[in-house]
């Protein structure tokens, strides 16, 4: 594996090491840290701490996508994320914007973000793929479903979804070097389906694209451990490290950066030989 993964300012050979993306939610209702980093000063301090801990990317989100969350308008989302982006951009970090709205993505890139992280895989907003291509930025395309359906083969559903997302990206002119896939753990899936995806992760390698893994503090970990969101660090580390042996995971998206940086360094020494 020698392809270059082009993440804007961050360019790295695929397979060289696991990248750690730190989560910066600027929402009042995110499931584990809602309201903690809404103010630009607090967001900047947290971003600085994650960078000091070894984060490669800071992922800024202005709309909670947890189950049961209330959708917000593009205007409200922008009011949350733009001041934070302006506060953290001078830190020199590679920044992704967690949004499925093309208008928000465009404004966020203009304010200092470098990557679009779309939880609907370019399939919610018809303008998203063309917007990303026009701006020349990488895209993270996540699998999602409007409802859980335990009767389906969830891995087959993910691969079908990814094929559509990749086709949209290619039609818009986005090169494969700027595409990342995310199986969307916790999104439109039952607890059992989340575990099935993690167990069969290698089947997503058919697309020959890097995969981002986002298990941080998710409900399935709480179910296994009988633990609240704030007490799921070790379970999160376990789930993320278990996926690295698949050989296709290049990024982990986490709330707790430094412990994952250390864990990934050890895992990389084992798996990436």
Contact predicate 87/94, CB 8 Å: no
Asked if 236 and 195 count as a contact pair (C-beta separation under 8 A), the reply is: no
Going from the C-alpha of 201 to that of each of 31, 42, 80, 124, 240, the distances in angstroms are 25, 36, 34, 24, 12
Is 124 a catalytic site residue? no
Of 101, 178, 217, 253, catalytic = 253
Q: Which of 36, 218, 219, 258 is catalytic?
A: 218
Q: Which helix (H) or strand (E) holds 157?
A: helix 154-172
Which residue matches tokens 């300012």? 9
CB 205 within 8 A of CB 33: no
- Chain Cα centroid distance, residue 18: 14
Q: Mapping DSSP to helix (H, G, I), strand (E, B) and coil, where does residue 108 land?
A: helix
Whether 232 contacts 219, CB under 8 Å:
no
272 is catalytic: no
- Reading the block at residue 151, the tokens are 């009767």
Contact 13, 4 (CB under 8 A): yes
The residue among 245, 238, 162, 262 whose CA lies nearest residue 202 is: 245
The set of catalytic residues is: 218, 253
């Amino acid at each position: 594996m020698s392809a270059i993964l082009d993440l804007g300012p961050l360019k790295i050979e695929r397979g060289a090491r696991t990248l750690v993306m730190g989560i910066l939610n600027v929402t009042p209702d995110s499931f584990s840290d809602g309201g903690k980093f809404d103010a630009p000063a607090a967001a900047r301090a947290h971003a600085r701490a994650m960078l000091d801990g070894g984060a490669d990317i800071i992922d800024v989100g202005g709309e909670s996508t947890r189950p049961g969350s209330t959708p917000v308008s593009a205007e409200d989302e922008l009011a949350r994320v733009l001041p934070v982006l302006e506060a953290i951009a001078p830190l020199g970090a590679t920044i992704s914007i967690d949004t499925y709205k093309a208008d928000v993505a465009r404004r966020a890139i203009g304010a200092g973000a470098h990557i679009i992280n779309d939880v609907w895989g370019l399939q919610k907003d018809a303008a998203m793929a063309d917007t990303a291509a026009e701006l020349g930025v990488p895209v993270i395309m996540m699998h999602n479903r409007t409802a859980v359906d335990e009767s389906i083969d969830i891995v087959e559903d993910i691969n079908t979804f990814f094929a559509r997302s990749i086709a949209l990206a290619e039609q818009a002119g986005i090169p494969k070097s700027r595409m990342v896939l995310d199986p969307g753990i916790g999104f439109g899936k039952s607890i059992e389906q989340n575990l099935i995806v993690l167990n069969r992760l290698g089947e997503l390698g058919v697309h020959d694209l890097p995969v981002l893994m986002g298990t941080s503090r998710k409900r399935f970990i709480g179910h296994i451990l009988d633990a609240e969101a704030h007490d799921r660090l070790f379970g999160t580390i376990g789930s993320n490290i278990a996926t690295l042996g698949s050989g296709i995971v290049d990024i982990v998206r986490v709330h707790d950066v430094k412990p994952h940086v250390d864990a990934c360094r050890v895992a990389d020494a084992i798996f990436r030989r």
